Amino acid sequence: MTTAVAEARTELIAGGVVLAVAAAFLAWAGQGMWSSGGGYHVTASFPDVDGVSVGTEIRLAGVKIGRVSDIRLNPQTYLADAVFQIPDDVILPADSAALIQSDGLLGGAYIQLQPGGSLENLAPGDEIEDVQGAVSLLQLMMKFVDSQASEPEVTP
């Protein structure tokens, strides 16, 4: 009977360790997903936001500084307006650029901010004018295949 009690206790401890590790992983994976609301919002209008959604990372010099807080279609321009939440301690020049980048061949998308050289800074609610939308890898490959097919064959 004591062996059964010891086995049950060991299984209980192992289960507790697994649950603690799972909870720690979820806390680590979700950090930054629920922001405290600090910071300011800026908007950028993209022709294509393929791969970008609410929660997508905003990076500056490769460092995550924020997330996309909203994406909506602008009915007047037919562009996708993405709203970014930027921390108060990150001050961006008014002529900064926003580019949708890919994390490798199969990776997800993120938005890379490139600071400009303006002496004026973006204020809360301002719009980043210089944008580059998502680049479709499939479209690039199709252009390459088409260009190879249309080149005349050189015979010696």
The residue behind tokens 């930054």 is 32
Each residue's pLDDT tens digit, 70-116: 999 999 999 999 999 999 898 899 999 999 888 776 668 899 999 98
Q: Give me the residue spans of the domains in the chain.
A: 1-31, 40-142
DSSP E strands, the chain = 40-46, 57-60, 63-73, 80-86, 97-102, 109-114, 127-128, 130-132
Residue 138 CB coordination number (10 Å): 7
pLDDT of residue 24: 76
Q: How many CB atoms lie within 10 A of CB 96?
A: 21
pLDDT at 17: 82
> 17 or 136: whose pLDDT is higher?
17
Which one, of 72, 71, 56, lies nearest residue 111 by Cα? Answer: 56
Amino acid at 57: E
- 109-114 vs 97-102, strand pairing mode: antiparallel
pTM of the model: 0.64
Q: Tell me the CB-side half-sphere exposure of residue 63, using CA atoms within 13 A.
A: 6
68 Cβ neighbours under 8 A, 6+ residues apart: 52, 53, 54, 55, 56, 58, 82, 83, 84, 85, 111
